[in-house]
Amino acid sequence: MTASMFRRDLVLMLLACTAAAVVSAAMPELSSLPSRKKLSAGFVPAAPSSMLRRPSVASPPSAKRARVARTSLTPALRMSSNEGPDGKSKALEKLASVDKGKKEEPSDSADEEDRPGFVQELVNWFNSEDGREEAFQWTVTFTLALSFRIFILEPRFIPSLSMYPTFEVGDQLAVDKVSKFWREYQRKDVVVFRSPPAFAKYVDKGKSEEDLIKRIVAIEGDKVQVKSGELYVNGELVNEPYRFEDAEYDYGPKVVPKGCVLVFGDNRNESLDSHIWGELPKENIIGRAVIKYWPPNRAGTVENWQG
What is the pLDDT confidence band of residue 207, given thresholds at 50, 70 and 90? confident
CA 37-41-42 angle, to 5 degrees, is 140
pTM value > 0.75: no
Residue type, 203: V
Q: Which of 35, 41, 45, 34 is nearest to 70 (CA)?
A: 45
Mean pLDDT, the chain, rounded, equals 76
Active-site residue 162, yes or no? yes
d(CA 22, CA 3): 29
The residue from 162, 195, 271, 274 that is catalytic is 162
Model confidence over 56-96: pLDDT tens digits? 444 555 555 555 445 444 444 444 444 455 666 766 776 66
Three-class DSSP category at 217: strand
Dihedral of CA atoms 64, 65, 67, 68 in degrees, nearest 10, equals 120
Tens of pLDDT, residues 162-196: 999 999 999 999 999 999 889 999 999 999 999 99
